């Protein structure tokens, strides 16, 4: 039995904050932000919308897309570094609201690589036939831990949620291989005190190297080559980092997901949000080989090679 994505959903707040809006409150410019990050605007959740609210909306959409009921979910994994409260977990909060009465529930903290960690964790339960359906959510309300006076970080982040239902798929489809990793010596370069603190230069160097290497590693593990890749869905952190990954795989521009310009860096939510975007655009087709790759504070990283379809 192989695990794959059988349903997908997302939630994006209504409020759009453009680069021009940020020009009015800090020493920055649209050109400065776009040329360094590729970001043009981001979504910011309202004060009365918390992380669990966004996670719930994305999860409901994924459940509907999968054609299952909440009662069929065996496990809920929520990847987030911005929970409503330290406990109960966001996973427990949405378990009740979904009515997923038989599901175990826990949060995963791996920053922007969290969705990859959640996918790989869910895969183990399905392929060992312990559980049939696992809900994996990547969700962040980064606006509440962003210092809006720090132009180096405030321009980067946005809020949102993405969710996937993992379940058994046909033999030749699903997750083909994965890689997870961490380097705690890099914790000092990206962390949260009261707000997000980042050494942009060091994180950039790490990300460019690790995203490319991990993408190649999962292909090798799956017995595939760069020529087999149909689409790349990288963590939407910075267009220059994403481009480096695309070039390592020698893919044309149209074969890489790009949503960073619209939503900014939504951390654990960025990859599942992008999956929905590309699926709706008709860019993901059954039997396509897709590489998903991300990195985050920890420092952490994760990559998955998946053959799309049920």
DSSP code string of 228-260:
G--EEEE-SS-HHHHHHHHHHTT--GGGB---H
Residue 112 catalytic? yes
Q: CA-to-CA distance for 198 and 25, rounded, in angstroms?
A: 20
Query: Residues with Cβ < 8 Å from 294, sequence gap 6 or more?
Result: 112, 113, 115, 116, 211, 234, 235, 270, 271, 301, 302, 303
**Which residue in the list 65, 189, 235, 238 is annotated as catalytic?**
235
* Helical (H) or strand (E) element with 295: strand 289-296
Question: DSSP code of 302?
Answer: E
| Number of CB atoms found within 10 A of residue 143's CB | 21
Per the CB < 8 A criterion, the answer to whether 113 and 162 are in contact is no
Is 235 known to be catalytic?
yes
**Active-site choice (112, 189, 217, 238):** 112
Is 267 in a helix, a strand, or coil? helix
d(CA 262, CA 41): 5
Q: Which of 11, 114, 118 is nearest to 75 (CA)?
A: 118
Specify the DSSP element, H or E, that contains 141.
strand 134-141
CA-atom Rg of the chain in angstroms? 18
Q: Which of 64, 79, 71, 62 is nearest to 96 (CA)?
A: 71
Choosing from 19, 189, 238, 265, the catalytic residue is 265
Q: Are 292 and 303 in contact (CB under 8 A)?
A: yes
Which residues have a catalytic role annotated?
112, 235, 265
């Amino acid at each position: 039995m192989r695990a794959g994505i059988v349903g997908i959903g997302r939630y994006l707040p209504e409020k759009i904050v453009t680069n021009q809006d940020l020009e009015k409150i800090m020493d920055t410019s649209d050109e400065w932000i776009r040329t360094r990050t590729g970001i043009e605007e981001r979504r910011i959740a309202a004060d009365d919308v918390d992380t669990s609210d966004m996670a719930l909306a994305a999860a409901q959409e994924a459940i509907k897309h999968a054609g299952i009921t909440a009662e069929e979910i065996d496990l809920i994994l929520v990847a987030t570094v911005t929970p409503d409260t330290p406990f109960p977990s966001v996973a427990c909060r949405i378990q009740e609201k979904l009515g997923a009465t038989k599901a175990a529930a826990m949060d995963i903290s791996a920053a922007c690589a969290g969705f990859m960690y959640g996918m790989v964790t869910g895969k183990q339960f399905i392929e060992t036939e312990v559980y049939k359906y696992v809900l994996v959510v990547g969700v962040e309300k980064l606006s509440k831990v962003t210092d809006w006076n720090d132009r180096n970080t405030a321009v980067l982040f946005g809020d949102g949620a993405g969710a996937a239902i993992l379940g058994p798929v046909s033999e030749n489809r699903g997750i083909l291989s994965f890689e997870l990793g961490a380097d705690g010596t890099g914790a000092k370069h990206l962390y949260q005190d009261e707000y997000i603190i980042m050494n942009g230069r060091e994180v950039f160097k790490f990300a460019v190297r690790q995203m490319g290497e991990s993408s190649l590693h999962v292909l090798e593990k799956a017995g595939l080559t760069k020529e087999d890749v149909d689409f790349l869905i990288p963590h939407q952190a910075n267009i220059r980092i994403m481009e480096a990954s695309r070039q390592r795989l020698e893919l044309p521009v149209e074969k890489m997901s790009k949503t960073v310009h619209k939503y900014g860096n939504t951390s654990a939510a960025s990859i599942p949000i992008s999956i929905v975007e590309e699926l709706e655009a008709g860019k993901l087709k059954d039997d396509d080989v897709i590489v998903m790759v991300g990195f985050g504070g920890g420092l952490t990283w994760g990559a998955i090679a998946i053959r799309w379809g049920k």
